[in-house]
Amino acid sequence: MKKMYRAIRPLLFMCPPESAHHAVLGLLDLQAKLFNKYPEWALQRPEHLGGLSFPNPVGLAAGFDNHAAHLPALFHMGFGFIEVGGITPKAQPGRLKPRLFRLQAEQSLLNRMGFCNLGVDHLVENLKKRPAGQIVGVNICKNTDTSLVDALQDYLYCFERVAPFCDYVTINISSPNMPGLRELQDSDYCRNLLKGLKKAQSAYADRADRYVPLWVKVAPDLNVEEIKVLADIFCTQKMDAVVATNTTINRANVSEQWRDQAGGISGRALNESADAVLAAFHSAIGEAIPLVGVGGIFSLADAKRKCAKGAKLLQLYTGLIYEGPGLVKDIVTGL
Ligand SMILES: Cc1cc2nc3c(=O)[nH]c(=O)nc-3n(C[C@H](O)[C@H](O)[C@H](O)COP(=O)(O)O)c2cc1C
């Protein structure tokens, strides 16, 4: 699998990144239609966390399958769980193209997609057709034109719509691609937002007799003080998991030509800061809330390092683009 991906990667890298992404997903859909079977090796390292049983701890990160339109193909790769989205209440076009770039020398990506998506109702229609018995989470966000003061209404709308059709929900307050979004990590905004969503979670649990875990996703650009404050809020609000991290606005690890380009960096250039933030949350939270490690995982060694820093589950995105789907098997069977 790895050799095959290495052979076709130069061809893929000749296409614009967004087109390559959709072309590959189309091919994977076809492959899944012909040989739709969840691989045996993917079942060999189960993990139980917050009431959910994961066949293995390696997940697909948000932003890869925004509308849950390719779940059979992606589970076919052996993922233990898939986070779809980010999704907003209403459809929005996102930023102008080009908005996704390969930084090949840095083995990284720069994206400023700006939450282009068809809205939560479209996602829900796809979730109704999701493969049974697999774990699917939804990454939710506010619309770009919703003010921070009104943000809770958007998150609540998304939560209510997706809760019946998914296994967990991730509250995205850390994408750098929506102006001001990261201010929701400021203590007052954050406390109110999480409190409101936990109330909705509890009301839904009473109503539907089903607890849908709420995860929260943080930025890699937080300092130690900010992490301590957030960790305290997450513990008080009894968040079900913390996903560390989203993409970075730091340009220290990329060459000159990318320094002034807007967007978030993922991949190898993110690895160090994502690891540091993961470790800082682990020392602030301990085992009180499980941590999901994401950011720059390109190998089994990267995955092991995340686990050593406190991650119970992992997520991949950019590593898949550079290393191919064989990376999932390497990690799952090697851990
Ligand atoms: C094109 C693209 C779109 C993304 N969209 C989202 C998103 O909608 N919501 C979110 O929380 N993270 C999003 N992310 C961030 C990833 O989920 C992940 O946190 C980040 O890329 C770091 O992991 P990696 O280094 O393995 O890519 C996106 C990343 C990329 C590259």
> What pLDDT was estimated at residue 273?
98
Nearest atom in ligand 1 to 170's CA: 11
State in Å: Cα 216 to ligand 1 middle: 14
State in Å: Cα 276 to ligand 1 middle: 18
Q: Is any ligand 1 atom within 6 A of the Cβ of residue 247?
A: yes
Q: Is any ligand 1 atom within 6 A of the Cβ of residue 114?
A: no
> What pLDDT was estimated at residue 1?
75
pLDDT tens across 277-335, in order? Answer: 999 999 999 999 999 999 999 999 999 999 999 999 999 999 999 999 999 999 999 99
- Alpha-carbon distance 229 to 218, whole Å? 13
Mean pLDDT along residues 108-118: 97
State in Å: Cα 314 to ligand 1 middle: 13
pLDDT tens across 95-109, in order? Answer: 999 999 999 999 999
Mean pLDDT along residues 260-267: 97
> What pLDDT was estimated at residue 267?
98
Residue 3 has pLDDT above 90, yes or no: no
Q: Are 79 and 328 in contact (CB under 8 A)?
A: yes
Q: Is any ligand 1 atom within 6 A of the Cβ of residue 108?
A: no
The DSSP code for 120 is: H
User: Which backbone phi and psi does 48 adopt, to 5 degrees?
Assistant: -110, 130
Q: Is any ligand 1 atom within 6 A of the Cβ of residue 175?
A: yes
Share of the chain above pLDDT 90, in %: 96
Residue 16 has pLDDT above 90, yes or no: yes
pLDDT tens across 123-144, in order? Answer: 999 999 999 999 999 999 999 9
Residue 228 has pLDDT above 90, yes or no: yes
> What pLDDT was estimated at residue 35?
85
Q: What band does 18 get if pLDDT is binned at 50, 70 and 90?
A: very high
Give 48's strand partners. 53
Q: What band does 2 get if pLDDT is binned at 50, 70 and 90?
A: confident
> What pLDDT was estimated at residue 321?
98
Q: What is the mean pLDDT of the chain?
A: 97
Nearest atom in ligand 1 to 243's CA: 19
Q: Is any ligand 1 atom within 6 A of the Cβ of residue 266?
A: yes
Q: Does domain 2-334 have CATH number 3.40.50.2300?
A: no
Q: For a pocket test of ligand 1, which of 171, 245, 246 has the largest count of ligand atoms closer than 8 A to its C-beta?
A: 246
Annotated active-site residue in 108, 175, 266, 273:
175
Whether residue 175 lies in the annotated active site: yes
> What pLDDT was estimated at residue 69?
98
Helices (H), the chain: 2-12, 17-34, 71-76, 120-127, 151-162, 187-208, 224-236, 256-259, 268-285, 300-308, 318-323, 326-334
Shortest-distance Cα residue to atom 9 of ligand 1:
86
Q: CB neighbours (10 Å) of residue 254?
A: 21
Q: For a pocket test of ligand 1, which of 217, 247, 265 has the largest count of ligand atoms closer than 8 A to its C-beta?
A: 247
Shortest-distance Cα residue to atom 23 of ligand 1:
295
Q: Is any ligand 1 atom within 6 A of the Cβ of residue 61?
A: yes
